[in-house]
A and B are shown apart, each in its own frame.
Chain A
Amino acid sequence: MKSLYNHFERNIFRFRFGVIGLFLLITAYLFVHATQIRLDASFEKNIPLNHEYMKTYLKHQQNFGGANNVLISVCNTEGDIFTTDFFTTLRGVHDQLFFIPGVDRIQVNSLFSPSTRFVEVVEDGFAGGPVIPADFDGSVQDLQVVKANIEKAGIVGSVVSDDYTCSMVKTSLMEIDPQTGEKLDTLKLAKQLEDEIRNVYEKDGISIHIIGFAKMVGDIADGAKGVVTFFAIAIAITAVMVYLFCRSFTLTILPIACSLIAVVWQMGVLSWLGFGLDPMSILVPFLVFAIGVSHGVQMINSVSREVANGNNPKQAAQLSFRKLLIPGGVALLSDTIGFLTLLAIDIGIIRELAIAASLGVALIIFTNLFLLPVLVSFVRFDQEEQKQIVETADHKLMARLLWKKANIVTSPKPAALIIIVAALLYFWGQYQGQKLKIGELHAGAPALHEDSRYNQDTFLITDKYAISVDYMSVVVETFQDSCIYHEVLDVVDEMQWRMENIPGVQSAVSLASIAKVVNSGYNEGNQKWKVLSRNQQSLVQSIARVPTTSGLLNRDCSAMPIILFLEDHKAETIDRVVAAVKEYRQQLGTDKIQFKLASGPVGVMAATNEAVAEAQTPMMLYVYGAVILLCLISFRSIKATIAVILPLYVVSTLAQALMTYLDIGLTVSTLPVIALGVGIGVDYGIYILSTMSQRIRAGESVPQAYLAALKERGSAVLITGLTLAIGVSTWFFSALKFQVDMGIMLTFMFLVNMLAAIILLPAISAYLWRDKLKK
């Protein structure tokens, strides 16, 4: 084993030109691919497609429309909608939307769709027609007619806003274009909504408000592009810090360059494999860079020390390679495996993140543990640089100021105190963490700032219309032609009524409630006939007036949704509604009449929330399982493993408490951060402990071993933690709320994991190797 390792090392450095050439070729090839990577978002990627609810959703998507909708509210800012100009604009928006690829044309609905009709009761029966007459020419008389028709059609609050200043155009999007078979390009569609609708039709007196998943992701993608700036700032900060650390221009450039190569490789491979980068996972390349720098700094720290010891750069590089390949490799491998475990979660976007992150981290093994030392071996330091490196290598100042004093943490009493404080923090974190809510906690799009255009548009639409965008459909699955039976509709009606009584449900609609209105209509509009007729002919008559395009029944009437409009999509509202459906379907459902959860945007959220809740524990188990296993293998010591894992776990718990405190819910986008945090944190612990455990094994006491570890690696750990924390803290200024949140979370994780590794880890070690305490 040892000889094989030596052989390996010798060969790498013997054929170092070959190694560099190979890396150069791969980098060039992958760089070309990396430049082709594009932002890519899709609705279905964000949902757990195999969840029970989503099976219902996918099964009925074609009949009842999906949950991936676009709502466009056209508003007159100078009065009500009844002006010629407004109707010209509205028609323009309707027609334009109709022709945008990806839009489900059958589902395009507005005042101008032929399916928007009114019905009125007259002496000899019904009179009705399209709300906008066929010969509409926008004249004052025509507008008066339209106004009257709108009232008769009962579409105030849905198609026309409550105050008559806005009108809605809405549609569903198709994930796959049935004609071309192509996947929907969500971001392109979002751009088209902006370019071809908002930019064309918004003008003085007319405002256009667009909401829906596609638009939201589009806006997030636009904001996420700002990440490039933050990336640049982070690189600059990192460079300055690393230079201050090693005082060598060359040794500063090399680790940063290698970490960037890892990012290029990662993006290249992803693009080569056909993956895009989701706007919500845009922080992954940055994380890869960060973890890369963390390992790179360890490498140059080691090189500096060897140079100071009188070795030439080649020898120094070779020695550092030998020393760091194992701890670095273990740390990176545990990150890789930890991230890979995220694949177990059946949500597309998390799987993509798992692939992207584990791939990136695995590639760092090559770029920073192989390429970096090989590159360093070529370096020739001039006299001045050599002097600087030698002077700073031991970081005497730091050693004197910090490490000597830091060593106190391994003395019994301070160690006990630290462990007690950590335990208290852990329990506090555990308590707070339990309050961590699943799902989205705020109205609108939580990833965007509250004052963003998208969220402002959401608030406007929620405010002006009675129906909300937050709806959930409970699909009643029955037998063919079931809706001509009173018993069936009666049960549907009962379910709807009970659900309407659940707090958080604003209103509800189903074939049953519409059939009652139609029955009343057939009886002169007399409210006393607003019942489901027991007479089958009458019932059929009522149902016949409800077209399948209404989305309230499918073609053979074997499925009909009960659409529940909710006040919001907060996690607790969703939980309450879902629980009520589950309770009532026990009482009302039969073999022939089954109430299936759930479709509609909130149905999708319910499924996602449940999937996230279910995934939380397994994910933590997998990540920790992987890290524990690798620690056991590499340290071959249970004590060492405990010393690394415990601080890590305390920090994970505190991170969850922080999420509670910041009011960040656990969603598909925030769930992986906890796993990523473990990946970031484990590096520090492994580097510190690998030196310590060697020395303890060699017979040194814990304080001695710790002091040695600090001298050898402590400065690098401290600098990396600070550097990366400062780098991500620039995200606080991001245009995306999501990135701000992530910035806070990651800053916390970088800093606190670092502190835990140099304070809590030795304190725990002091007690684990009690016999080695005084020697």
Chain B
Amino acid sequence: MLRNILILLSVLTFSNQLIAQNNQSSEADSPQYSEILPLASKSLMLDIAKVSDSKLIAVGERGHILSSEDGVSWKQKLVPTVSTLTQVFFYDELNGWAVGHDSVILKTTDGGETWQIQMYAPELERPLFDVLFTDLNNGVAVGAYGRFLRTQDGGKTWQEEFHDEMLVEDDRLYLQELKAEDEEMYLDEIRSILPHFNRVKAIGNEWFLVGELGLLAKSSDQGKQWQLLDEIYQGSFFDINVVDNDKIIVAGLRGNLFTSDDNGNSWQQVDVDSTALLNAIVIAPDNSVYVLANAGVLLTSSDKGDSFSLQTEKDGKAIIAGVWFKEQLVVATETGLKVVQGQ
């Protein structure tokens, strides 16, 4: 009897040790989770997406992901990263991706309740700024220094693409020479020669890409080949959107706003009474256009972007992204999420 108990005990201790070891190793491998704290919804929030008519998901610094059913009260999710998240994209009500600094890519399959990490590469020192999926398998992620990633398996694996068609002719020739002469230097150069890709957007059958140094490009084969559009401005562009399916609007640094009625072939500058950095363009169902900007600036147009009226939020904080949700404009700002009343 005593012997049996002893054996039992030793087995128990042993299995405990096993469990302990398992815990240890899984802890070391597991990513750091973002801290759940009361003021997460008041911290720097960088993007916001409508998952369904009754649900919003917002992302921001320190790996914060929050959800809301009314745009007013927000609930923080447990997320396996502390890296700052810059953009979130939902393909449908369940499937979505979030990208950010440290090359982090997260995926959800339950409408943003839980998230799995698909990529994390801090050593690259290259943040991602946007992500776009055309179906559950095919998508791209873009970021700083012309970073361009493509997946064909829903994000399980990602392939780097180098789009030298986004370079001017001289740079392209220079790179070709370098590749022949000094492979190592060539590899180093392609890491930083391209401008930042800030936003990739599907408009109709075409994809548009905007970014640093006035980058404006479009593609008719889902980003495999890009065609640079004529330069209209040397500063950066941060967002591109379309109103009423026919007028494209791009927004950039220091109040630079352009519209195009011919699919990006020619552009007209719109005069806005602000030199703030324009972060995002939100289109309401009634075709009202809202341009969200730094310094609390909010531009509103009721004529599809031909003219804008200016309103400045009292706190003067940058408004970075927004969605039209339940008849109101819900925005992500540098001091958190809020609802703004239009004029």
Contact = CB atoms under 8 A, between A and B. Distances in A.
B253 A534 contact: no
Interface in A514-537: 524-531, 533-535
Interface stretch (B19-27, B38-46, B65-73, B178-186): B38-46
Interface stretch (A93-101, A496-504, A560-568): A496-504
A616 B316 CA distance: 48
Given A527-B318, A531-B84, A498 B46 contact: no
Interface in B312-343: 316, 318, 320, 334
A526 B37 contact: no
Interface residues of A, number: 20
Contact of B236 (A501, A524, A527, A533): A524
B215 to A, nearest CB: 13
B127 interface: yes
Nearest to A500: B39
B316 A527 contact: no
A242 to B, nearest CB: 64
A526 B236 contact: yes
Given A123-B234, A151-B316, A534-B102, A498 B37 contact: yes
A534 B46 CA distance: 19
Interface string B83-112: 010100000000000000110000000000
A534 B44 contact: no
B277 A501 contact: no
Interface string A610-639: 000000000000000000000000000000
B235 A531 contact: no
Contact of A501 (B38, B84, B234, B279): B38
Contacts of A524: 235-236, 253, 277
Nearest to A528: B86
A525 B278 CA distance: 10
B303 interface: no
B35 interface: yes
Interface centre among A123, A498, A533 (most CB of B within 10 A): A123
A698 to B, nearest CB: 74
Contacts of B127: 528-529, 531
A122 interface: yes
Contact of B235 (A123, A530, A533): A123
Interface string A147-158: 000010000100
Interface in A405-445: none
Nearest to B334: A527
B160 to A, nearest CB: 19
A122 B44 CA distance: 23
A156 B316 CA distance: 10
Interface string B53-67: 000000001100000
Interface string B171-201: 0000000000000000000000000001000
A498 B234 CA distance: 40
A404 B26 CA distance: 86
A123 B86 CA distance: 22
A121 interface: yes
Interface in B177-229: 198
B35 A498 contact: yes
A534 B120 CA distance: 14
A501 B37 CA distance: 7
Contacts of A151: 295, 316
Contacts, number: 60
Contacts of B46: 527-528
Interface residues of B, number: 32
A526 B129 CA distance: 11
Which among A123, A497, A526, A530 has the greatest number of chain B C-beta atoms within 10 A? A526
B147 to A, nearest CB: 13
A450 B236 CA distance: 55
A534 B61 contact: no
B285 to A, nearest CB: 27
A497 B235 contact: no
B238 interface: yes
A752 to B, nearest CB: 47
Given A501-B38, A524-B253, A530 B44 contact: yes
Nearest to B101: A531
Interface in B250-287: 253-254, 277, 279
A646 B235 CA distance: 83
Given A497-B62, A501-B38, A527-B46, A122 B334 contact: no
A41 B120 CA distance: 59
Contacts of A531: 61, 84, 101, 127
B125 interface: yes
B37 A497 contact: yes
Contacts of A501: 37-39
A498 B43 CA distance: 11
A689 to B, nearest CB: 60
A500 B335 CA distance: 12
B291 to A, nearest CB: 15
B294 interface: yes
Contacts of B236: 524, 526
A531 B126 CA distance: 12
B39 A530 contact: no
Contacts of A527: 44, 46, 279, 294, 318, 320, 334
B31 interface: no
A572 B125 CA distance: 43
B277 A121 contact: yes
Contacts of B198: 526
B125 A530 contact: no
Nearest to A490: B82
Contacts of A529: 127
B125 to A, nearest CB: 5
A526 B278 CA distance: 9
A500 B129 CA distance: 27
B38 A525 contact: no
B278 to A, nearest CB: 11
Contacts of B125: 533-535
Contacts of A122: 254
Contacts of A534: 102, 122, 125
Nearest to B276: A525
- Chain B CB within 10 Å, residue with most, of A524, A525, A526, A528: A528
A745 B127 CA distance: 65
A524 B234 CA distance: 13
29 contacts: A121-B254, A151-B295, A151-B316, A497-B35, A497-B37, A497-B43, A498-B35, A498-B37, A500-B39, A524-B277, A525-B277, A526-B236, A526-B238, A526-B277, A527-B46, A527-B279, A527-B320, A528-B86, A528-B127, A528-B320, A529-B127, A530-B61, A530-B84, A531-B61, A531-B101, A533-B125, A534-B102, A534-B122, A534-B125
Interface of B: 35, 37-39, 43-44, 46, 61-62, 84, 86, 101-102, 122, 125, 127, 129, 198, 234-236, 238, 253-254, 277, 279, 294-295, 316, 318, 320, 334
**4 tightest A-B contacts by CB?**
A501-B37, A528-B86, A123-B235, A535-B125
Given A525-B318, A528-B127, 12 more contacts: A121-B254, A121-B277, A123-B234, A151-B295, A498-B35, A525-B253, A527-B334, A528-B84, A530-B84, A530-B334, A531-B84, A535-B125
